[in-house]
Structure 1
Amino acid sequence: MDIFKLFFDHDLRLDKLAKRNANKTPEEVEATLADFMNPTPTYSKFYLTGTRLEEEQFGLDTLAKGDAVIQQISKAFSHDDITTAEDTYDSLSSALAATGVGEALIIGGEAESVNFGTLRIDEESNVGHKKEALSKVLKTGNYVLYKEQAHHGFDLHLFSTENIYPSLFEVFQPLVDSHFRFFSINSKRMRSERHFYFETWTLDRPPHGAEEVFADTVL
């Protein structure tokens, strides 16, 4: 059985973290107050992963419908090119096949000036995604998709200044059947590794924050 999980997290601050320094200059304090009075740019992120339950395989591409999931993602971005560090593609499957784990893909039309080297996941530290580089790309209106390491394959991590959850819900729901169970998960309520892998110990009574999507579920 395939267990497909779509984690979502909305209204995240796009700007860099403020300097944590109590000795700020008057100019810095004034700038902070001005920023507070203006709308704060935000973004959403979505983590797509899966478990092949009987085989105890973890990773989106381990699913029997792994290829179908990727094809459905493409439908949500049917009019956008996918650009990697090496080339531009009109197929997400082709782009992912040419992309290494830890590398980023840009979905959208303005990626010529992107420095993909600055977007690559930093495996040598706990920083992970370099927020400043990621922020610059998101501000152009493009989507950023990371090919992330999973236990037995890869997962996908999608960043967007738009809340595209309804579009993702719409393209994934048709895959639901007796062999493919789809869970929509609020990341803010699922903070531990035990929660992340809830399907291994409490599949039919998922923790608060994880909702199963059925063929007749209405968004």
Structure 2
Amino acid sequence: MSDPPDILKYFHEEPALLEPVTPDADPDARRRTDRSAPPEDPSVPLEDLLDTRDAYRGYLAGTNHADDQVGLTALRSPDVYVAPLVEALGRSWWGRGTAQHGVEALDQDSVRRVLRAPARTTVLVTAGAPVDSERITAVAGRERRRTVEALRALLDTAHIAFFPEPAHDGYDWSFFSATPMRDRLVTAFRDHPAPATRRFVLPYQNARSESKFYFDRWQLTDSPLPDYIEEV
């Protein structure tokens, strides 16, 4: 019996409203019982509070059913996502933030290695020209909700910001852009056939529960796919 195919899932939210900045000392303060003391001047500029620019985000996840491993980087053929990402979303300059709070410029071979194995990488950025290191380190290795303003600033100059997300086995990738990405990435998937991998595209809003996120573990054989899931 042949091995089951790998599964790649691309969740998209286009547009995705980045949360406006709040004047809390801690962005999670409203959910905590032990609040830290507010700063001396807790005010936030009005233009920041009203800044509700849209962003566009995606999330790539995967399952290697043959080896019972869950995670995009656990797929047996990483090029099923590496090549489309580099082709559709990449620009002439790439850089990464490191776990030591540094920034490194990357050549194309290094970019592909990082996408396959992002250990010690906190953020991966592509742009038409080198991006200021401070804009990259401002979002590196921190909770996304705490870096909304910094992420906006980064996307003013960077084309895409990629973030490695720990999975059960290896990593997934989330990514943000100031411009739509879905159509470009889907076209790149179709331009790169992957006979040993099934690739699915669906809105993030339709995969918020655990059972819907892992639909490939039960829904591919037990019932027809809902209309919002597209196979490419």
Bin the TM-score by the shorter chain: 0.7 to 0.9
Give yes or no for the alignment of 1:120 onto 2:124.
no
State the AA in 2 paired with 1:100: A
Give yes or no for the alignment of 1:144 onto 2:161.
yes
**Change beyond 3 A, Cα 1:78–1:128:** closer
Partners of 2:179 and 2:216 in 1: how far apart?
A: 29
User: Is 1:80–1:90's contact at 8 Å kept on the other side of the alignment?
Assistant: no
Deviation at 1:2, TM superposition (A): 1.1
Deviation at 1:128, TM superposition (A): 5.7
**Change beyond 3 A, Cα 1:88–1:177:** closer
Partners of 1:69 and 1:195 in 2: how far apart?
A: 21
Unaligned runs of 5+ in 2: 25-29, 31-42, 98-102
Partners of 1:101 and 1:158 in 2: how far apart?
A: 17
Q: How high is the sequence identity, in percent, across the aligned residues?
A: 25
Deviation at 1:54, TM superposition (A): 2.8
User: Is 1:7–1:184's contact at 8 Å kept on the other side of the alignment?
Assistant: yes
User: Is 1:16–1:131's contact at 8 Å kept on the other side of the alignment?
Assistant: yes
TM-score, normalised to structure 1's length?
0.77
Deviation at 1:174, TM superposition (A): 3.5
- The equivalent residue for 1:216 is none
- The equivalent residue for 2:208 is 191
Q: How many residues align?
A: 198
Partners of 2:20 and 2:54 in 1: how far apart?
A: 11
TM-score, normalised to structure 2's length?
0.73
Deviation at 1:131, TM superposition (A): 1.6
User: Is 1:43–1:162's contact at 8 Å kept on the other side of the alignment?
Assistant: yes
Partners of 1:203 and 1:101 in 2: how far apart?
A: 35
- The equivalent residue for 1:16 is 20
Cα deviation digits, residues 32-87 of structure 1 (max 9, x gap):
9x959xxx521110101111123221111211221342122111245421111331
Partners of 2:206 and 2:120 in 1: how far apart?
A: 27
User: Is 2:7–2:198's contact at 8 Å kept on the other side of the alignment?
Assistant: yes
Correspondence for 2:87 among 45, 69, 75: 75
Deviation at 1:121, TM superposition (A): 3.6
**Change beyond 3 A, Cα 1:64–1:193:** same
RMSD in angstroms over aligned alpha carbons?
A: 3.0
Unaligned runs of 5+ in 1: 22-27, 214-219
Deviation at 1:110, TM superposition (A): 3.8
User: Is 1:2–1:53's contact at 8 Å kept on the other side of the alignment?
Assistant: yes
- The equivalent residue for 2:11 is 7
Deviation at 1:117, TM superposition (A): 3.6
- The equivalent residue for 1:206 is 225
User: Is 1:146–1:156's contact at 8 Å kept on the other side of the alignment?
Assistant: yes
- The equivalent residue for 2:34 is none
Aligned with 2:92: secondary structure?
coil
